[in-house]
Amino acid sequence: MSQVKNNSIPNTTVTRDLRDLDKGTDNLYESIVVISKRANQISVEVKEELNSKLAEFASSNDNLEEVFENREQIEISKHYERMPKPTLVAIDEFLNDKVYFRNPAKPQE
């Protein structure tokens, strides 16, 4: 997932100017809905990617030694924990016009 691996996205909370958020929609609440839906999409993609990587380590008969010795699995999990949160990625995409959205209630231009 290339969007999430972008290093320019902050990994912590950032104070934002609300006037920047409503530029694409002319409505702050509509912008929030777009951002939240995109964040949910990103979250699902990241979760599926992580689960597929961790599924390689699954075995039907884990013993205690294998659980504690699997450093590669731990490193993969740590990598995903350090990634920017889906909400931060979605906000960055929205502010940089990387999100396509449309409101079916509004007439198309």
Residues 34 and 101: their CA atoms lie apart, in Å, by: 7
- Which is more confidently placed, 95 or 59? 95
Residues 89 and 80: their CA atoms lie apart, in Å, by: 14
- Which is more confidently placed, 4 or 105? 105
Question: Mean pLDDT across the chain, nearest whole number?
Answer: 81
Interacting residues of 105 by C-beta distance below 8 A, sequence separation 6+: none
pLDDT tens-place string over residues 67-82: 555 778 888 888 988 8
Given this model, what pLDDT does residue 2 score?
A: 42
Using 50, 70 and 90 to split pLDDT, how confident is the model at 35? very high
Residues 52 and 55: their CA atoms lie apart, in Å, by: 5
Ramachandran area for residue 63 (φ above 0: left; ψ -120 to 50: alpha; else beta)? beta
| pTM score | 0.76
Residues 41 and 58: their CA atoms lie apart, in Å, by: 26
